Structure formats: structure tokens, C-alpha cells
Amino acid sequence: MTSLTTPTIPGYIAGTWDLDPSHSEIGFSVRHLMVSKVRGRFGKFEGEFVTADDPLASTVTATIELDSVITGDENRDAHLRSPDFFDVGSNPVMTYRSTGLRPRGNDYVLDGELTLHGVTRSVPLDLELNGFIDSPMGTRAGFSASGEISRKDFGIEFNMPLEGGGVVVGDKVTISLEIEGVLRSNS
């Protein structure tokens, strides 16, 4: 019989944390023309995470404004906002809500539900806790996370076949997060 034990995390601080957008990044990459990857990020998002007394009971919620997509090419960004991809006129935000946290080796898996393009799917994220610190900018916590989704699972199926085989845009999208939060004061 295996039992889960509550992990001991050096410097752990229980509390409610607000995502600091100026010190965080929500990014993605997707295969382009079958030979390279295009990277992008979102410029506007908000969220909070609650580190519970029992770390495995901690939670995360986040909202990302899809019209804030930045890939370094204004025409591509406009196409991503269109009905072919995000359809920001009908679906202006993407949300993530955690449903559980479990240890895996020295790190964790954050289980959660991603809602994108009007579809909600379970999306686990590999989570690395980077630490906690008291600083002149307030008490801070940070983590890195990554995962992968299928565009088709969210009803985003736009593509164009290539003459020699393959497609213009890959189906698998890699998600990468670098998150820093600020401990919310109790006042």
C-alpha cells in the first residue's frame, strides 16, 4: 500500500498570491512548415495561486486575454485572433483552473482544466517550484511549468497542406510558464 506524504518544502509560505505580470511569462510554441517552431506569448493575463497549509491542497486560477498574443509578426498575430484560431470576438479569454497537485520525483504535476475556444479539457502541467523569498518588492514565490495540448482537442483545426506532405501549422502546442507571485497582504 502506497501513501502520499505531505512534502516538506524549504522556505514554504502558505497564503494567497497574485500573479505579477511584469515578472511572469505565459508562452507557447508550435511547429511551422514541419521544419521549425514559432514561439509566442500573451501580454495580458491575471491570476492567483493559493499555497495551502498542506502543499498538495494548493490551487491555481488564471485568465489570459487572447487578443494580447505576441509572436513578433503583426499579420500572424491578427490571424491568430481571427475565427481560424482563437476567435477572440466570441472567445476573448482562455482560463486555467487547477483540480489537484501531486508530487512526481522532486517536482510536481498540476492537474487542471483549460478552457480555450469554448472547449474545456484536462491539461496537466509539469511544475517546478522555484522557491519563496522576502524581498524589498514584497514576499515572492516562483515556479516554472510546462505542458502540451492538441489544437484539435479545442476545435482549432485550421491548416493548409503542403505540396510535399505535411501541414503549415502543427497540431501539438507546447505551453511554457514562468510565474512569479506576490503574497497578498491580509489587511
Say what the pLDDT of residue 10 is: 82
Q: How far apart are CA 178 and CA 41, in angstroms?
A: 11
| Amino acid in the structure at residue 116 | L
Residue 186 falls inside a structural domain: no
What residues make up the domain containing 26? 17-181
Per-residue pLDDT, 167: 64
Neighbours of 13 (CB within 10 A): 14
Establish if 11 belongs to a structural domain. Answer: no
Nearest Cα residue to 21 out of 59, 78, 90, 68: 68
pLDDT of residue 3: 42
Q: In this structure, is residue 10 part of a structural domain? A: no
Q: How many domains does the chain have?
A: 1
Q: Quote the mean pLDDT of the chain.
A: 91
Within a domain: residue 8? no
Phi/psi at 85 (5° precision): -125, -95
Is residue 49, in this structure, part of any structural domain at all?
yes
| pLDDT value of position 106 | 86
Provide the pLDDT for residue 187.
46
Q: For residue 120, which amino acid is it?
A: T
The separation between CA 20 and the C-alpha centre of its own chain, rounded to angstroms, equals: 14
Residue 2 domain-assigned (yes or no): no
Q: Which helix (H) or strand (E) holds 132?
A: strand 125-135
108-119 mean pLDDT: 97
Triad 147, 58, 176: Cα angle to 5°: 20
Examine residue 74 and state whether it is found in any structural domain, yes or no.
yes
Q: What is the CATH number of the domain that holds 100?
A: 2.40.128.110
DSSP conformational letter for 53? S
Residue 160: band (very low, low, confident or very high) from pLDDT cuts 50, 70, 90: confident
Asked, for residue 71, whether it belongs to a domain, the answer is: yes
Q: In this model, does residue 2 exceed pLDDT 50?
A: no
Burial class, 144, CB count within 10 angstroms (exposed 0-12 / middle 13-18 / buried 19+): middle
User: Which pLDDT tens digit goes with each residue over 56-92?
Assistant: 999 999 999 999 999 999 999 999 999 999 999 999 9
SS3 137: coil
